[in-house]
Structure 1
Amino acid sequence: MKDVKGFLSSILDSITDHITVIDNTGAIQYVNKSWTAFATRNGCLITENWKNINYIEACDNASDIDGDFGPKVAQGIRSVIDKSHDSFYFEYPCHSPQQNRWFMMRVTPLSFEQDNYFVISHHNITERKLAEEKVRNLARIDGLTNIANRRYFDEFLNAEWRRCLRLELPISLAIIDLDHFKLLNDTYGHQHGDQCLIQIAQLLKQFVNRSSDICARYGGEEFAIVLGNTSLTDAQTLLGSLLEEIAHLDITNPNSPIQSYLTASIGLATIQPNFEEQEKLLIYQADKMLYKAKANGRDRLES
């Protein structure tokens, strides 16, 4: 074979991974075709002349754009260069306006003609990540109502509590109990009761429109709504509308001592998180208000 160098270059260019080689200062010495093609498709100002651009410095300077990804990558590359680690890999999101994407980066040392180089490859792991995300989402969803289950409710409330604590914002929680639901099941059967729960869940979805909000099946015929950055007054207005909408569904419950249709009792609590308390206090207070709603005749909101 006459042109071994050209042959090896063609092999590297045929690989779908984005590959670059840097020296021990971080300066780029080589990039393959997939690297330049990806840069061109994603609007990178550099498309061809990558030689001697310092990859590590670029990672250091990316901290303002990519959060802490850039510094972590730079630190990982330096750990291979200084031989404190044999290799380094890092998984990271690289989303575009059109799609969500994830890549895995690997850094491995390379010796050539008594000089030290470092091969950096970026492998697209989007298919795997989407599959993992699908499994996670299934684990978070209540199988009957197709809204968040209790496990995900707990995770979400904890995260939203910490966010509101950090930003000094209020957080509201409503626990919703369907009044005398057992009588509905006894009258029409559990299959009909399940369809009613599905209807209620679909209604609840209309009341959570922000990333800081969630509706969940809390257990049995109980549901919950978390409203981040929401005052008690705003939450009262929203939950009052929910009570009206539940009545408008006109789900027949003829043996209920309250109304001939399905009604609900709602306990609502609002707290501005502090370092002395945990989200359990919010649950306790909302649950306390729910019991008050039941004691005061049901079919009402207490806060």
Structure 2
Amino acid sequence: MAYSPGFLGAILDSISESIVVIDGVGNIQYVNRSWSEYGDTNNACIPSDDWHTLNYLTECDKASAMGDEFGTNAGSGIRSVLNGSQSEFYLEYPCHSPDEKRWFMMRVAPLQLNEAGYFVIVHKNITERKLAEEKVSALARIDGLTGIANRRAFDEFLHEECRRCMRLGKPICLAIVDLDHFKMLNDTYGHQLGDDCLRQTASLLQETVNRPSDLCARYGGEEFALIWGDTSLEQARQLLNQFLRSLSDAKMLNIHSPAGKYLTASIGLTSMVPTTDSDMDELIGQADHMLYMAKANGRNRIESQDKSTPGR
């Protein structure tokens, strides 16, 4: 039985996986409906231009040049199938939005049609499986005392969020929060009450993060760290002022503290639009320096530095 091109095209358009066919040099020859619809609403992951004018490898190279690891790996893998060094290529990659975590898999395989050689690239949403895997691995990234992210999770998250903001040209904010004279609280009331204060502080800080691009972590001891992706310095300051008000309202006694009879916090805040991988270390250094300034200027305050705007 012979099937018309329209019939076969309708079958491909009914498939939930996104499909694109390229020629031997990467020029796009065909996309199915799922691919087009996804590209129209998610151009941070897939460009939504006229598909028939695009070269898939060129798009991968553009993403790679902006520091996108997926673009680098995808371009290399596709070329390995095009030149025959691999029979097929498989890759799993994240494509998160500010409001949602998402993962996809990509598979590349050759297609011979008459005398012409083509290559089929399939993208499939694997978010459900990856979220289940995340729940398991998250147990190794949770601080046992406070129940929030630990230092390991902080380091990994900051690395990924810096790369995402670098790719999109968006600012990222980092705050380091230190509880003032916390040793005095422990010495006065005991470590059990000190642990209760750490847990309560973590809960108050957690209220300032509510998106996949945000993170609240225990940085070490009585220090905490907050990350906000695609967030301005002023927006971050508003969230931190909200936390300081909540901390004041909590009235956790620290009677011998020079900063006041209730527990207070000093905060170093910084913002930048990352341009290289080394900017992660610079971001931490800036936040740490601002924390030092907050302590030097009397504690119980926020000191900030904005590097997201040229000349600042």
SS at match of 1:169: coil
> In 2, distance between residues paired with 1:166 and 1:102?
18
CA 104–290 in structure 1, closer or farther in 2 if over 3 Å, else same:
closer
**Residues 162 and 280, structure 2, Cα contact 8 Å, conserved in 1:** yes
Hey, what does 1:249 align to over in structure 2?
250
CA 89–233 in structure 1, closer or farther in 2 if over 3 Å, else same:
closer
Hey, what does 2:65 align to over in structure 1?
none
Gaps of 5+ in 1: 1-26, 28-35, 43-53, 94-99, 108-124
> In 2, distance between residues paired with 1:236 and 1:101?
32
Gaps of 5+ in 2: 6-10, 23-28, 47-55, 58-73, 95-101, 110-125, 305-312
Hey, what does 1:258 align to over in structure 2?
259
Q: How many residues align?
A: 255
Counterpart AA for 1:294: K
> In 2, distance between residues paired with 1:235 and 1:295?
21
Find out whether 1:181 has 2:171 as its counterpart.
Answer: no
- Superposed CA deviations along residues 61-109 of structure 1, whole A, max 9, x for unmatched, are 73755967xx899xx9xx99x997678777699xxxxxx99999999xx
> In 2, distance between residues paired with 1:86 and 1:189?
64
CA 160–130 in structure 1, closer or farther in 2 if over 3 Å, else same:
closer
Hey, what does 1:148 align to over in structure 2?
149
CA RMSD of aligned residues (A): 4.9
5 Å-filtered alignment, 1:264-303, equals 264-275=265-276, 278-303=279-304
Hey, what does 1:6 align to over in structure 2?
none
> Percent same amino acid among aligned pairs?
56
> In 2, distance between residues paired with 1:245 and 1:86?
59
5 Å-filtered alignment, 1:24-103, equals 62=35
CA 106–173 in structure 1, closer or farther in 2 if over 3 Å, else same:
closer
Hey, what does 1:113 align to over in structure 2?
none
5 Å-filtered alignment, 1:158-169, equals 158-169=159-170
Counterpart AA for 1:285: Q
SS at match of 2:198: helix
Q: CA deviation at 1:263?
A: 0.6
TM-score normalised according to structure 2 size: 0.61
- Superposed CA deviations along residues 136-193 of structure 1, whole A, max 9, x for unmatched, are 2112221211111111211222222222222222222111000111111112222221
**Residues 102 and 129, structure 1, Cα contact 8 Å, conserved in 2:** no
- Superposed CA deviations along residues 256-282 of structure 1, whole A, max 9, x for unmatched, are 122111110111112232349512111
> In 1, distance between residues paired with 2:246 and 2:162?
28
**Residues 179 and 262, structure 1, Cα contact 8 Å, conserved in 2:** yes
TM-score normalised according to structure 1 size: 0.62
> In 1, distance between residues paired with 2:233 and 2:246?
20
> In 1, distance between residues paired with 2:263 and 2:158?
28
> In 1, distance between residues paired with 2:141 and 2:170?
26
Larger Rg: 1
Hey, what does 1:221 align to over in structure 2?
222
CA 196–276 in structure 1, closer or farther in 2 if over 3 Å, else same:
closer
> In 1, distance between residues paired with 2:218 and 2:93?
32
